[in-house]
Structure 1
Amino acid sequence: MIVSPKAKYLYIGRDGRDAVWSAFNHLANFKPEVFDIFNNTPGRVGPQLKPPSESVHEFYREWFAWDGYPLWPFWSNVRSWWNLRHLPNVMLIHFNDMKRDLAGSVKQIADFLGVHLDEATMAKVVEHWDEKGVRGAVPRTPSCYSLMTCQTPFMPSPMASPGFVSLMKK
């Protein structure tokens, strides 16, 4: 990977189990024209993007077995940024850490980017990205996405579900 010393890179990592759950939700809800756009983009490489099988369990197992298939090579992507973490212009942060301490994470990111946020701006940024604040302003349902249908309800992250392990064994 070529990394410019003139740029700053922020990599937000996510638990693979949450990433695959989100991928299934998005693919299951994309309108047909989205697949057409992806698959007919000039210069596209890789396999065609298609709706997932109806079985979330099958999709989950394939995604892990094939390193993020059909979207991107998840594990090698994480590894490539992990290997660059020592560079002064690369910052890695985990999505769960951001959820746990959003204000602290925004401050950490701003400091890394060399951006000063006064108290009022910091409060606005945190409010904008705070899950509850966003939910209050914009309904977080598939209907708010112009490229998605509402045919398949979004399932919550499996990591929030106590029955996750038993569900995935099916």
Structure 2
Amino acid sequence: MAEKFPYTLETPTEEENKLIKKEFAGYLSGAVRVRPSGYFFQGIYRDYAERLFNFSVKSSDVFVVSYPKCGTTWTQEMTWLLLHDLDYEGAKVELDSRFPFLEADHVLDPEVFKLPVISDKLACPPPEPGKYLAAADNFPSPRTIKTHMPFSLLPPKLVDTCKVIYVTRDPRDVVVSYYHHHRMWATHGYSGDFKKFFDFFINEQVMWSPFWSHVREAWEKRHHSNLLIVTYEQLKADLPSVIKKVANFLGKNVTPEDIEKLSSHLHIDTMKNNMAVNCLHEAEFGLLDTKEGGFIRQGKSGGWRSYFDAEMIEKFDKWTKEKGQGLEKEFNWV
């Protein structure tokens, strides 16, 4: 039996909604906040909140959960290959077809596909409402599912039912990558500069924010046997060790040769040129602007130093101390 969605959906003030729709041209439905947590989404989320909360989870499922731009695609490709016994031929299929994006319906608003910049290039009709949620639901087992939703807005029994890998990253690097992501995708439609986006991020006015609440919900479950937390920094520093850790978590045996080959496949230079994971086909339809560097951009840690000025550093430190409440030390983001 479906559970009643236990939170309140609140429309921002007319002034804030007007600002959001102006700065994020792809947010055609405006914005909505989930109360009391404050999670921020496009207004179209209203149509899916209860359905996502009640998504039917199977014991054979494997979820990859993250705030955006934390190493999700990296972790998805690793997870899929480990689960499928390093089937590199099968991995040539587009990642989204192997690893459905649970909440894509309220991110890829069908109305955006009617904008001339996209519709003039689109060779097929806009997606039907609910298409992506249905695809995830009907995906053959064992299902591998990607989501950026925080745990509180996902099925309450998720971690008790199936394996979940949560991946996170230093928020200073997240905001830089998320900025380019918003400029890249027509479905977000952001054309402003970094400084303005930085303020939207720390004011928790971009999708899936607040960042710290998102991470804290995972951290509070860190001792659960069905949850593995991985960081982008770990992936960068020692990919073979993370591969081994994820393989053990999934109950898969890998040889040193397997790890070496998978590490090569997951190298940033390989991933950037991998048509199956880098969303290069979306550029053909006007959905993605490759001038921002592609969906997989640089794969760096610490790149924020080239973007933050003294004022931003001060603001970020204050925001981290207030909202992170020590989590930044747990992850060594200091």
- TM surpasses 0.5: yes
TM alignment of 1:2-81, pairs within 5 A: 2=156, 3-31=158-186, 35=187, 50-66=188-204, 69-73=205-209, 74-81=211-218
Q: Give the superposition deviation at 1:144.
A: 2.8
The runs of at least 4 aligned residues of structure 1 exceeding 6 Å deviation read none
Give CA-to-partner distance per residue, 1:92-144, whole Å, 9 cap, x none: 11111111000011101111111111233222211111113434x449xx893
Aligned residue pair count: 148
Deviation at 1:162, TM superposition (A): 4.2
Q: Which of residues 237, 248, 265 is equivalent to 1:111?
A: 248
Contact kept, 8 Å, 1:14 with 1:94, in 2: the verdict is: yes
Which stretches in structure 1 are left out of the alignment for 5+ residues?
36-49
Alignment of 1:120-139 (within 5 A): 120-135=257-272, 137-138=273-274
The equivalent of 2:302 in structure 1 is 159
* 1:83 corresponding residue in structure 2: 220
Contact 1:21–1:158 (CA under 8 A) maintained in structure 2: no
Q: Is the 8 A contact 1:127 1:133 kept in 2?
A: yes
Contact kept, 8 Å, 1:17 with 1:158, in 2: the verdict is: no
Report the AA paired with residue 253 of structure 2.
H
Rounded to whole Å, the distance in 2 between the matches of 1:53 and 1:121 is: 43
TM-score (norm 2): 0.39
Indicate which of 124, 144, 148 corresponds to 2:280.
144
Among candidates 214, 229, 244, match of residue 92 of structure 1: 229
Once residues 123 and 80 of structure 1 are traced to their aligned partners in structure 2, the CA distance between those partners, rounded to angstroms, is 33
Q: Does the CA contact (< 8 Å) of 1:28 and 1:152 recur in 2? A: yes
What is the SS of the residue equivalent to 2:161?
coil
Structure 2 gap ranges (5+): 1-151, 314-334
Instruction: For 1:29 and 1:134, locate their aligned partners in 2 and report how far apart those are by CA, in whole Å.
Output: 18
Amino acid at match of 2:180: N
The 3-state SS of whatever aligns with 2:309 is helix
Per the TM alignment, residue 20 of structure 1 is displaced from its structure 2 partner at its CA by: 1.8
Which structure carries more relative contact order (alpha carbon 8 Å, separation 6+)?
1
Distance in structure 2 (CA, Å) of the matches to 1:148 and 1:98: 26
Classify 1:29/1:163 alpha carbon distance in 2 versus 1 (closer, same or farther; 3 Å).
Answer: closer
Distance 1:133 1:89 in 2: 30
| TM-score normalised by length of structure 1 | 0.72
RMSD: 2.9
Which residue type is aligned with residue 25 of structure 1? H
Q: For 1:89 and 1:71, how far apart are their aligned partners in 2?
A: 26
- Paired with 1:149 and 1:127, the residues of 2 have a C-alpha distance of 27
Instruction: Give the SS at the match of 1:165.
Output: coil
CA distance in 2, matches of 1:18, 1:125: 25
Which segment drifts farther, 98-107 or 111-120? 111-120
Residues 150 and 167 of structure 1, relative CA distance in 2, 3 Å threshold: farther
Deviation at 1:163, TM superposition (A): 3.8
Over 3 Å counting, the alpha-carbon distance change for 1:153 and 1:104 in structure 2 is: closer
